[in-house]
Amino acid sequence: MIPNGVTPADDQIAADIFGVTVGYWQDKKHWTKIPGLKLLNREGSRRRVFSKEQLLAAQAEEERAKALNEQPRYNLPPVPAGENPNDLLDLHESLLALPESRRVALATWKTYRYGTKTRLPEPDVILGGKKVDGETVGGEEFWHRRTILDWDKDRPGRGNPTGRPVGVKESHPRPPNQQAGERRQRTRQLLEEQPGITAAALAVELDVHPEYAQRLLTAARQESNILPHTAQLAQDRRERTRQLLDENLSGLTAPMLAEELGVHRVHAEGLLNAARQEKLRALLAERPGMTVEDVQATFGFRVTAHARTLFDKVREAQ
């Protein structure tokens, strides 16, 4: 969280203040040598965030001490405590700012950022990043606490809490549940793309309870065993997708894959996404310091959000 009244600064801004390159700043970990300098980023986030006011004070003290040939005596301005409507929150922190009864699963919350039905407001601040075709890419997004809370006031609730009284049976059979059918179909597709998928991973993907995900997964596996030739075809498609991705890592698209495999574009998108996740896991094992920007460049994504989604999925599964 970035408290109200604090100007956020990332590694690049910090390096500029101290007159060094960002690589030197990160290599020397100079922030660890400044008593009282507070990290404002949430634990587990990928970008360090400092108070610009504290950085400026620290740099001025180091210049003063250097001129007098003495050790710096840091006296940094304090970072405000408590909650304020103008605090800046990242995507994860924004979810936690809501009352517990209004929170959704983190995976669902992430879809709200780029969704078409339920959609979060645009961020109030984007820290870092670069301008590409008029869009800031690669930055860290933050919302004022009041922005999220005001948006939540207009968000529909979880539906009508009333229902059929206990013990009263339905007079007519229910019509087929379209959502349930879509979940079964998506489960079969994911099982084809990722034979080793777990119920926990499926629950996150479908935003359902793990027990329900386990039932869906069991049914899908039983169905695939009944059709062994279909399972072999699915395996062949997965292997061909991995091969094509290795040959054209940054240029392979779902339409190209659909034409090559003779499948529907939606199916091709699922196969390509699974292959990209597998490839990214291998890349992260070799280069654990990869960033969203690296993922975007590696796979040729034009939109940073696509790279961030892929990066987050692989990180969450680790």
Give the per-residue pLDDT at 78: 94
Give the per-residue pLDDT at 259: 82
Give the per-residue pLDDT at 160: 39
Cβ pair 42, 142 in contact under 8 A: no
With CA atoms as reference, report the closest residue to 132 among 253, 251, 13, 301. Answer: 301
Q: Which two tokens stand for residue 226?
A: 């009944």
Distance CA 58, CA 18 (A): 9
Q: Which two tokens stand for residue 57?
A: 């004070």
pLDDT digits (tens, 9 = 90+) for 169-208: 445 554 555 677 778 888 888 887 777 788 888 887 887 7
In whole angstroms, how large is the CA radius of gyration of the chain? 25
Give the per-residue pLDDT at 166: 42
Q: pTM, whole model, 2 decimals? A: 0.50
Give the per-residue pLDDT at 29: 94
Q: Which two tokens stand for residue 16?
A: 């500029």
Residue ranges in the chain modelled with pLDDT below 70: 116, 130-138, 156-178, 224-231, 318
Give the per-residue pLDDT at 168: 47
Cβ pair 289, 259 in contact under 8 A: no
Q: How far is CA 140 from CA 46, 148, 299, 310, in A?
A: 9, 16, 20, 16
Distance CA 39, CA 214 (A): 40
- Find the length of the chain: 318
Give the per-residue pLDDT at 74: 94
